[in-house]
Amino acid sequence: MREFGFELALCAHLETETDGIVSRQLGAGVADPGGRVIDALLVESGPEFDERVAITPERIPDAAIESSVGPGRARHWKDVVSGHPDRAWRAVERAVEVGFFERERRNGRTYVRQTVRYPDWYGRLIGIENKPDLGRPGDLETQLRTDVSLGLLDEIVLATASYVTGAHLNRIPDEVGVWRFDPETGERVVIREPTSLDPEGFGIEPLDRQPGRTEIAVVSPEEKERRRRRMAERAYAKGWRTFAFPGCAECSVREVGSEPSTKSTASLPDCAWKGRVIDPAGCGPSCPGYDPAELPDVDLDAERAERTPWEPNPEGRRRRQAGLDRFG
């Protein structure tokens, strides 16, 4: 199984073992958010996880979370949401749309308030770098050293299908945990436990590497916490099912993650022509094996709702006021 299929199988497996949120392909930098992309992220639930579930299945805009508006008296939106007016207004609109803000009009001016206090909903963030074949490591060592020096996440783990030797372990930082995972059987063996990093301390983020020289950014605990919240919010909204099954007769549903778990199985796109789990983004007439057919009957949102605490249609906490909907 290639890296994409390995990644999906691991995410499905982790989903059976946790009551938190599993997501994939998230920016894990601070000074350069897209400079480091983590393959998979496990967001453990915090003390007020249920409060977050009740608000919205979507991502809550960071500008809305950081605004000085609360669930009390409504305030004029320009006084409480910082940043460029156009971006601030888009954040207000989106916060209203997802149910985190409610708004009202007074004398032609828009006032907003939170529908609920932003909850303390996430706990530890565990990053997983997937490298099924350690014989083709790529930039693995550099990526993992960046994760450790930055300390954005609580733990970092390397997941592989390869047999792990002492030489492999010596090439990666001691703080990085190592799992050997079989995507066909779902068996996961812990080769080395990860060491906790320090997300509450300062971090060093390498930015640009040149021969004999590396530019770095010193990242503060406050910057790290802001980025952690953004990652958690993104993970909650995104999950790991970021694909759609193609309409191709060669593609079928591979079910993984049944016994001994009490959760239902997860659905992966399996291609008979290629003989493996595939990334449906590459499906279509340009593929020699493409055979047009009806879309398979798979509801990935319903599957995620059944297997995880994520709720696609929460009741929300919006206070209804007389005439308020006229201004939605």
pLDDT in tens, 44-94: 999 999 999 999 999 999 999 999 888 888 899 988 888 888 999 999 999
What percent of the residues of the chain are helix, what percent strand, and what percent coil, each to the nearest 5?
Answer: 30, 25, 45
Q: Which residues pair with 218 in a beta bridge?
A: 204
Res 205 pLDDT > 80: yes
Confidence at residue 248, expressed as pLDDT on a 0 to 100 scale: 95
Q: Which residues pair with 99 in a beta bridge?
A: none
Res 327 pLDDT > 60: no
Which residues, in sequence order, are CB contacts of 94 under 8 Å at separation 6+? 61, 64
Res 207 pLDDT > 80: yes
Q: Which residues pair with 190 in a beta bridge?
A: 179
Q: Which of 33-42, 134-143, 208-217, 281-290 has the lowest mean pLDDT?
A: 208-217
The mean pLDDT of the chain is 91
Q: What confidence tens digit (pLDDT) does each residue in 132-184 have?
A: 999 887 789 999 999 999 999 999 999 999 999 999 999 999 999 999 999 98
Confidence at residue 83, expressed as pLDDT on a 0 to 100 scale: 85
Confidence at residue 318, expressed as pLDDT on a 0 to 100 scale: 47
Confidence at residue 260, expressed as pLDDT on a 0 to 100 scale: 64
Confidence at residue 137, expressed as pLDDT on a 0 to 100 scale: 76
- The closest alpha carbon to 308, from 13, 98, 22, 6, belongs to 22
- The Cα 63–Cα 56 span in angstroms is 16
Average pLDDT over residues 23-39: 95
| Percent over 90 (pLDDT), the chain | 79
- The Cα 39–Cα 28 span in angstroms is 10
Q: Which of 213-222, 227-236, 250-259, 284-293 has the lowest mean pLDDT?
A: 250-259
Tokens representing 229 are 């919240």
Long-range contacts of 163-171 (CB under 8 A, 24+ apart): 164/134, 164/191, 168/134, 171/137, 171/141
CB 129 within 8 A of CB 143: yes
317 vs 62, higher pLDDT: 62
Q: Is the pTM of this model over 0.95?
A: no
Which residues, in sequence order, are CB contacts of 159 under 8 Å at separation 6+? 6, 10, 40, 128, 129, 130, 131, 178, 179, 181
Q: What confidence tens digit (pLDDT) does each residue in 252-276 have?
A: 999 987 666 677 899 999 999 999 9
Tokens representing 180 are 């050997």
Average pLDDT over residues 193-216: 90
Res 328 pLDDT > 50: no
- The Cα 231–Cα 150 span in angstroms is 15
